[in-house]
């Protein structure tokens, strides 16, 4: 009988739900440290840490994400018959908190968060069902300086977390819809093009544009879709021949934003991306995505969403972003290799009288930042072995012997 | 095409993909090379031959920056990729076909219908617009046999010439879509490797257009 035949159909990895992961010693720690680096950076920029529930009423979730994405959530009913969902992102939760509890300001209000999000992804696709997100929301300002701050902060957090070759792609949610409107496309035709763009099906975009009557400047821009990328100079190229107010205004905002990003000294990592495909129902102004050369997915994304808070009864402008901690962690892991378990100093003693001395030595070493695990009985292997009179320890492959104080000093980290 | 990894579809599209890459001046690859090796490094790029349905998987997950695959595979795939260009070869059609005696052939849509197909997602969408009581039966091959054996009333299947359908006594009733080979790209790669990916797209698009012009002349 082969191994497979002996297993019942539908057998699970001993007790763990399919599509979820355990994080073991080493990788769990490096993932937590990465999250800490992100939060530290957010706090250093004045963003206050908040925690929102893992569960939200389905109505709350529905205020933020469209029907298609709701169906990708884990949804359930509690004993009162209320429909609930495990959160698939956390911006909606933070927006709810601001609109219902912090609506009196003071503004601008800077908040940050980190926590798991869950998506009911199909199995065996390589996609995670649970992942960790960390993000910031800057509420109460319509100024482009707020958008620039979020972009600079996202890049700073990734770099602080150890992600290399960070690249920020900046777009504008109103550029393409505005371009389609000013090109004279009627609403059904616009929906066809926007729908194809949302599916990232540029072949259909092209076909739709060929079959519609529109001005050359706009058609040229839309057909150049994947190449509408570059530095500030592409704004002038794009603006030539353009007549509509909406796309022109979007280009003007991007020009101002470029100068603000220059003030943050990050334009060497910024590309303007006029063809950025984002959720046009959600975003209302500048948007951005963050990439790293060694990752096949965006590591973070964000933008201005001025309509969301009004759905919770507080008409407040807002901009923000999310970082995908697990994708960042994957990217760093591919580069540096998987994180190994942190080093722990084993402390032993030779008889019961020496145990208090060994425990005291461990206490002193821990105070100096050395992780120590004490033997649970006398004798046994140890990196530091304590007797009534002295200690011996191994360092750099050499056996050393001396007083307890000498051992603690020798095993403590050197002052930088 | 500095350092790109490109997924090519094994099977009927492989030869056309190699021809197009050649006529675009990208690379000269003999398709038979893939009989011996699944991965070919040539001209600074890596070409891997995978099953057509796996091309979007490699590209979405970032294992390849670009891929060439039939639109029929993309209809079925839930993978998020950019579809950059219609490469215009590998033309085939997804059609509904029924045996001679079926009311479908007379243009009558029966109230309930059992449909055998290798394309359940396309079938779901095709029938979504028609309020019929449709039972989809997913098969993995030789779909034409299903009506003859009584497994299904009709089939929704890909046909290039119509010969296989005709040989099995099936008559085309409706066309659900026309498929050609497409160039797809990873979402991040279009941003982080924009010049290489954009350059590949431009060369293949040019070559596809000029080959079609030649074909028409």
Name the CA dihedral angle for A385, A388, A389, A392, rounded to a multiple of 10 degrees: 0
- The side-by-side arrangement of strands in the sheet containing A318-324 is A48-49, A109-118, A130-139, A318-324, A300-304, A286-292, A166-172, A270-273, A229-230
Q: Are residues A186 and A272 in the same domain?
A: yes
* One domain for residues A270 and A350: no
Residue A5 lies in a domain: no
Instruction: Name the 3-class secondary structure at A96.
Output: helix
Instruction: Indicate if the pLDDT at residue A28 is higher than 90.
Output: yes
Check residue A324 and give its pLDDT: 97
Coil, strand or helix at A91: helix
The model's confidence at residue A398, banded by pLDDT at 50, 70 and 90, is confident
Q: Is the pLDDT of residue A415 over 70?
A: no
Pick from A199, A204, A296: CB nearest B188: A296
Assess whether A74 and A156 both reside in one domain.
yes
- Predicted local confidence at residue A224, as pLDDT: 77
Query: Does some domain include residue A286?
Result: no
* Reported confidence tier of residue A3, pLDDT bands at 50, 70, 90: confident
pTM of structure:
0.89
Same domain, A83 and A225: no
Q: A336 pLDDT band (50/70/90 cuts)?
A: confident
Beta carbons of A298 and B81 less than 8 Å apart: no
What pLDDT is attached to residue A45? 98
Using a CB-CB distance cutoff of 8 angstroms, which residues of chain A are in contact with residue B194?
Answer: 226-227, 229, 271
pLDDT of residue B216: 53
Across A189-214, average pLDDT? 85
Q: Among all residues of chain A, which has the CA nearest to that of B82?
A: A200
Which residues of chain B are within 8 Å of residue A295 when distances are taken between CB atoms? 62, 188
The CATH number of whichever domain residue A387 belongs to comes to 3.40.50.800
Residue A282: predicted pLDDT:
85
Q: Which residue of A has its CA nearest to B77?
A: A125
Q: What is the dihedral of CA B155, B157, B162, B167, to 10 degrees?
A: -50
**Are A193 and A259 in the same domain?**
yes
CA distance A40 to A87: 24
Instruction: Let me know whether A149 and A250 are in one domain.
Output: no
- A312/A204 same-domain check: no
Asked if B191 and A200 come within 8 Å (Cβ–Cβ), the reply is no
- CATH value at residue A322: 3.30.930.10
Q: CA dist A102 to A108, A141, A313, Å?
A: 11, 15, 12
Chosen from A166, A198, A200, A209 to mutate, greatest number of chain B CBs within 10 A: A200
- A14 CB contacts (<8 Å, ≥6 apart)? none
* Residues A326-334, mean pLDDT to the nearest whole number: 92
- Name the residue with tokens 């998506």: A119
- Give me the number of domains chain A comprises: 3
- Dihedral sign computed on CA atoms, order B21, B24, B28, B30: positive
- Regarding predicted confidence, which is higher, A6 or B142? B142
Q: Is the ipTM beyond the 0.90 threshold?
A: no
Write out chain A residues lying below 8 Å of B197, CB-based: 226
**Do A232 and A148 fall into the same domain?**
no
The answer, yes or no, to whether residue A338 has pLDDT greater than 70, is: yes
Taking only the tens place, the pLDDT of each residue in A249-288 is 999 999 999 999 999 999 999 999 888 777 767 899 999 9
Establish if A86 belongs to a structural domain: yes
The tens-digit pLDDT sequence of chain B (217 residues) is 468 999 999 999 999 999 999 999 999 999 999 998 999 998 889 999 999 999 999 999 999 999 999 999 999 998 999 999 999 999 999 999 999 989 999 988 888 899 999 999 999 999 987 878 899 999 999 999 999 999 999 999 999 988 999 999 999 999 999 999 999 999 999 999 988 999 999 999 999 998 877 765 4
Q: Do residues A223 and A253 both lie within one domain?
A: yes
| Contact call for B83 and A200, based on CB within 8 A | yes
Rounded Cα gap, residues A204 and B176, in angstroms: 16
Is pLDDT above 70 for A13?
A: no
> Are A67 and A125 found together in one domain?
yes
Same domain, A122 and A30: yes
Residue range(s) defining the domain that contains residue A54:
19-164+298-342
Distance CA A219, CA A183 (A): 8
In the predicted model, what is the mean pLDDT of chain A?
Answer: 90
pLDDT level of residue A226 (50, 70, 90 thresholds): low
- Could you read off the pLDDT of A75-110 as tens digits, one per residue? 999 999 999 999 999 999 999 999 999 999 899 999
Give the domains, in start order, of chain B with CATH numbers: 5-90+180-216 (3.40.190.10), 92-178 (3.40.190.10)
């Amino acid at each position: 009988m082969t191994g497979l035949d002996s297993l019942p159909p539908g057998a699970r990895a001993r007790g763990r739900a399919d599509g979820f992961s355990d994080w073991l010693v080493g990788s769990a720690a490096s993932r937590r440290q990465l999250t800490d680096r992100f939060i530290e950076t957010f706090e250093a920029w004045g963003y206050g840490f908040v925690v929102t529930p893992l569960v939200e009423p389905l109505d709350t979730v529905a205020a933020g994400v469209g029907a298609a994405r709701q169906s990708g959530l884990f949804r359930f009913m509690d004993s009162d018959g209320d429909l609930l969902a495990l959160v698939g992102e956390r911006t909606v939760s933070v927006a709810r908190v601001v609109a219902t509890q912090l609506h009196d300001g003071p503004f601008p209000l800077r908040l940050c968060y980190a926590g798991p999000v869950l998506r009911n992804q199909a199995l065996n696709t390589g996609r995670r069902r649970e992942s960790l997100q960390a993000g910031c929301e800057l509420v109460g300002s319509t100024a482009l300086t707020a958008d620039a701050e979020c972009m600079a902060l996202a890049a700073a957090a990734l770099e602080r977390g150890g992600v290399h070759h960070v690249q920020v792609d900046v777009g504008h949610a109103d550029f393409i819809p505005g371009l389609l409107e000013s090109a004279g496309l009627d609403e059904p035709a616009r929906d066809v093009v926007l729908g194809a763009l949302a599916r990232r099906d540029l072949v259909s975009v092209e076909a739709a544009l060929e079959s519609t009557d529109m001005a050359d400047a706009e058609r040229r821009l839309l057909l150049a879709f994947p190449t509408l990328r570059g530095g500030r100079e592409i704004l002038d190229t794009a603006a030539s021949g353009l007549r509509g107010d909406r796309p022109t205004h979007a280009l003007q905002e991007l020009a101002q934003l470029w100068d603000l990003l220059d003030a943050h000294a990050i334009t060497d990592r910024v590309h303007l991306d006029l063809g950025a495909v984002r959720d046009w129902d959600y975003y209302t102004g500048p948007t951005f995505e963050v990439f790293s050369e060694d990752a096949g997915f965006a590591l973070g994304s964000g933008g201005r969403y001025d309509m969301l808070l009004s759905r919770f009864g507080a008409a407040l402008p807002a901009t923000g972003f999310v970082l995908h901690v697990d994708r960042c962690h994957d990217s760093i892991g591919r580069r540096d290799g998987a994180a190994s378990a942190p080093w722990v100093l084993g402390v032993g003693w030779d008889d019961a009288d020496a145990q208090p001395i060994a425990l005291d030595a461990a206490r002193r070493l821990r105070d100096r930042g050395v992780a120590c695990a004490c033997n649970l009985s006398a004798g046994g292997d140890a990196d530091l072995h304590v007797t009534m009179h002295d200690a011996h320890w191994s360092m750099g492959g050499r056996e050393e012997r001396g007083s307890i104080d000498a051992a603690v000093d020798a095993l403590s980290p050197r002052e930088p | 095409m500095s350092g790109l990894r490109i997924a090519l579809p094994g099977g009927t599209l492989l030869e056309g993909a190699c021809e197009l890459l050649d006529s675009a001046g990208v690379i000269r690859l003999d398709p038979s090379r893939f009989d011996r090796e699944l991965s070919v490094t040539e001209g600074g790029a890596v070409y891997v031959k995978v099953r057509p349905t796996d091309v979007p998987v490699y590209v979405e997950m970032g294992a390849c920056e670009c891929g060439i695959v039939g639109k029929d595979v993309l209809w079925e795939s839930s993978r998020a990729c950019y579809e950059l260009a219609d490469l215009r070869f590998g033309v085939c059609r997804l059609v509904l076909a029924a045996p001679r005696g079926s009311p479908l052939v007379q243009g009558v849509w029966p109230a309930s219908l059992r449909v055998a197909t290798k394309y359940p997602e396309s079938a779901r969408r095709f029938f979504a617009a028609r309020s019929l009581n449709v039972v989809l039966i997913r098969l993995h091959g030789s779909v034409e046999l299903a009506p003859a054996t009584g497994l299904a009333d009709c089939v929704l299947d890909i046909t290039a010439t119509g010969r296989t359908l005709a040989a099995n006594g099936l008559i085309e009733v409706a066309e659900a879509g026309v498929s050609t080979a497409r160039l797809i790209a990873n979402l991040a790669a279009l941003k982080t490797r924009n010049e290489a990916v954009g350059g590949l797209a431009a060369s293949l698009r040019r070559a596809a257009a000029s080959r079609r012009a030649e074909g028409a002349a």
